[in-house]
């Protein structure tokens, strides 16, 4: 009984602190908006030859956040463990912006997002008058820490898909360049200038590597390892063999172009034939989630036992594990090799 009273008192104190914090934030926002309004009035009476564009509220917040992020990144960069961990995020950084965004910034964002998740869980529980648990905080930290990884993974896959779709354009440009007597470096430079998007970025990487003194074989291998597309592997391997053994690069690259075009047509036909299978897969995967959402909408307390009790947490973990296995089995059964 005393423990419950203490929990109630802690919740009340946290609610008061939260309300005071929200009111302070609102007062600060109102004060900032009033300052902007007065500044706008006074600006009409100020003579200025050059009108400077000033950042708005969201621009100021973004600027302050970036300063804070960089300061935290400098602090975290003192750890060798975090420095080694941050290297995996080099693939997500645009080479032209590496002086503005560092790999450690990604780690800092992951930590800040995980803290924001935990703060959201605590605020939600306090507003509902429920004491937060260690399991909730741990889940919030894990989800927040790996959420950006999932986002960057999907963004990277999207960029690679764009490269795959635009690859034939690059191969056609290179084939025409070889017919005009251009070298591999000149052909890569032409592709980098004639294309746009992720494909332009990848070929710009290759051109930068060549300008830094790497030989053609290393540049092509690095390009193949970054993109990891079968067509790119076929193209780079052909160019590496040609560079070592010699031969008519125009005729051989024309064969490469025709082979990749035939492969693209075959993949397109396979996707058309398996469109119904992909639709069935999406329906089968989404049905359990939609059913659970429908039940929760009708009766929000139906699943509360899975969250509020220890046995329920174990059962929930088993359900999630079985659902992941269910998705994996359906994907393996309905997957067509080569797509």
pLDDT tens-digit readout, 138-169: 888 888 888 888 888 888 888 888 887 788 88
At residue 140, the pLDDT reads: 81
At residue 144, the pLDDT reads: 83
What CA–CA distance (Å, rounded) separates 87 from 103? 6
| Cα separations in angstroms, 325 against 68, 122, 210, 329 | 41, 32, 45, 6
At residue 29, the pLDDT reads: 66
DSSP 8-state class, residue 94: -
What CA–CA distance (Å, rounded) separates 66 from 60? 10
CB neighbourhood size of 149 (10 A): 14
| Cα separations in angstroms, 10 against 118, 119, 128, 267, 301 | 18, 16, 13, 61, 25
CB neighbourhood size of 165 (10 A): 13
At residue 1, the pLDDT reads: 53
What are 97's two structure tokens? 């912006």
What CA–CA distance (Å, rounded) separates 216 from 211? 11
What CA–CA distance (Å, rounded) separates 333 from 325? 12
At residue 50, the pLDDT reads: 44
At residue 49, the pLDDT reads: 45
Residue ranges of the chain with pLDDT lower than 50?
49-52, 338-339
What are 184's two structure tokens? 């591999």
- Element at 43 (helix H, strand E): helix 2-43
What CA–CA distance (Å, rounded) separates 119 from 98? 31
| Cα separations in angstroms, 155 against 158, 282, 314 | 5, 20, 33
What CA–CA distance (Å, rounded) separates 308 from 305? 5
């Amino acid at each position: 009984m005393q423990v419950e009273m203490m929990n109630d008192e802690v919740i009340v104190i946290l609610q008061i602190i939260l309300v005071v914090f929200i009111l302070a934030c609102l007062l600060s926002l109102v004060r900032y908006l009033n300052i902007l309004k007065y500044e706008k009035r006074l600006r009409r009476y100020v003579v200025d030859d050059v009108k400077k564009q000033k950042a708005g509220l969201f621009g100021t917040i973004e600027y302050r956040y970036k300063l804070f992020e960089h300061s935290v990144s400098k602090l975290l960069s003192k750890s060798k463990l975090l420095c080694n961990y941050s290297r995996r995020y080099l693939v997500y950084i645009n080479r032209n912006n590496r002086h503005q965004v560092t790999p450690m910034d990604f780690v800092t964002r992951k930590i800040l997002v995980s803290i924001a998740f935990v703060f959201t869980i605590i605020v939600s529980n306090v507003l509902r008058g429920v004491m937060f648990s260690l399991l909730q905080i741990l889940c919030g930290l894990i989800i927040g820490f790996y959420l950006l990884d999932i986002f960057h993974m999907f963004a990277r896959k999207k960029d690679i898909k764009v490269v795959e779709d635009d690859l034939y354009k690059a191969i056609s440009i290179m084939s025409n360049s070889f017919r005009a007597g251009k070298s591999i470096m000149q052909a890569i430079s032409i592709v980098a200038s004639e294309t746009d998007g992720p494909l332009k970025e990848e070929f710009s990487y290759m051109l930068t590597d060549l300008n830094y003194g790497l030989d053609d074989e290393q540049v092509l291998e690095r390009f193949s390892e970054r993109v990891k597309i079968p067509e790119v592997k076929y193209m780079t391997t052909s160019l590496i063999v040609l560079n070592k053994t010699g031969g008519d690069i125009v005729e051989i690259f024309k064969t490469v172009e025709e082979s990749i075009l035939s492969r693209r047509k075959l993949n397109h036909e396979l996707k058309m034939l398996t469109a119904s299978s992909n639709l069935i897969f999406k329906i089968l995967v989404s049905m359990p989630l939609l059913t659970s959402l429908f039940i929760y909408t009708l009766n929000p307390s139906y699943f509360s036992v899975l969250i509020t009790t220890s046995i329920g947490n174990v059962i929930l973990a088993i359900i999630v594990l079985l659902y992941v296995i269910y998705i994996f089995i359906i994907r393996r059964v309905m997957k067509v090799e080569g797509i």
